[in-house]
Amino acid sequence: MSQNSLLSEMLELLVDPYAVLGVSVNADDRQIFKRYHVLAKLLHPDNYINIHNPDKELAGVILTRLINPAYQELKQTKKRNNVVATLRSKAEGMDKQAILNLQKVFNLDIISMSAPEAELFYEKAITSYALAQYESLQHLYQVTKRMSKLNLIYLSLQKNYFMETQTLTDESTSESTSIVALPKANLAELKLSEAKNSQHPAINYAQRHYERAIQYHQQGQWSLAVKELRDAIKLEPNNSDHYALLGVVHFQQNFTGMAKVYIRQALKLNPKHTLALKYAVTLKIEQNDTSNPKSMAKALGIAALLSRFLSGKD
């Protein structure tokens, strides 16, 4: 393939600037700038000492016509939100077969993963691809294209997890096991009431803390992950995902005692929590190990104090 045709294909990738830079769709300002700095340095002409190196010219063009425009799209929060909204809209058009096809590529059952597991898998996969993305400019297009597909799959799964969570919430508040549709009149009244109380859609701050904790976990920044998860638990004290990930973070730090406390609490809230069950085996926690509620509350309190002490906070 000629350099001109290769570049033409690459420019089509700008529909997903996240994939072009090789960062997660959850990346923040700091992560985006850091990645851009790495790529700008990597593709700088000074790195191609041999004047006859065929990649020298291509690297310069990629930097100016691919990397720089992608960074301009992601450096500002407003533009970044617009990009994510566009990608979400595209992800909504994906069917289950597209996810199954991707499973074959990774040889992994993505659909059956819990939300935290899918999140961690996605972040890890993006990081792995990013390491190899610009090693060979000739293979850049294929790697970036796969990352773009992975972004769409992830956003599609995010929507599915939200819908499943909403369904479970509706079921838990219903007197019958069947799902009863809300009458249209009541739904209209509900929307009207919400409009009166607030002109802006409700923001799930607990979910934001949780998502940041996942990113910090992926980066090995344990104390920051713990802080985010503690804040998430304050807002949603009965969310098993928060306790499960907190247990994993403590396990990664070799604090097995605290890890057991949080994994047990996750299983108490959701006995079928996939991530918690996986680490329960590693920590040798019996599935029928039900602690006294008062003992559990005391253990959680002690673990929280220890977390503050170990993170140097409060």
Give the span between the Cα atoms of 159 and 136, in whole angstroms: 34
User: 47: which DSSP letter?
Assistant: G
| Distance from the first to the final alpha carbon of the chain | 59
3-state secondary structure of 66: helix
C-alpha closest to that of 114 among 126, 122, 106: 122
Asked whether the beta carbons of 99 and 156 are under 8 A apart, the reply is yes
Q: How far is CA 270 from CA 230, 240, 275, in A?
A: 19, 6, 11
Give the span between the Cα atoms of 266 and 278, in whole angstroms: 12
Give the model's pLDDT for residue 123: 84
Give the model's pLDDT for residue 165: 40
- Within the chain, how many helices (H) and strands (E) appear? 16, 0
For 154, the token pair is 């992830």
Residues 6+ apart with CB under 8 A from 152: 87, 90, 91, 94, 98
DSSP, residue by residue, 225-243: HHHHHHHHHHH-TT-HHHH
Domains and CATH numbers, the chain: 3-162 (no CATH), 206-311 (1.25.40.10)
User: 64: which DSSP letter?
Assistant: I
C-alpha closest to that of 138 among 291, 5, 288, 298: 5
Give the model's pLDDT for residue 157: 74
pTM: 0.53
Asked whether the beta carbons of 246 and 273 are under 8 A apart, the reply is no
Residues 75-110 as b/e (b if ≥16 CB within 10 A, e otherwise) read eeeeebeebbeebeebbeebeeeebeebeeeeeeeb
Query: Mind spelling out the 3-state secondary structure of 275-308?
Result: HHHHHHHHCCCCCCCCCCHHHHHHHHHHHHHHHH
Asked whether the beta carbons of 259 and 250 are under 8 A apart, the reply is yes
- pLDDT tens per residue, the chain (314 residues)? 455 555 677 788 899 999 999 999 988 899 999 999 999 998 887 776 655 566 777 888 889 999 999 999 999 889 999 999 999 888 887 767 766 776 666 555 566 666 666 777 788 888 888 888 988 887 888 899 989 988 988 888 776 544 444 443 344 444 333 333 333 333 343 333 333 444 444 568 889 889 888 988 888 888 888 888 988 998 999 999 999 999 998 888 878 888 888 899 899 999 999 888 988 998 888 766 545 444 445 445 544 544 544 444 43
Q: What is the CB neighbour count within 10 angstroms for residue 291?
A: 14
CA 56 to chain CA mean position, Å: 35
Q: Which amino acid is at 258?
A: M
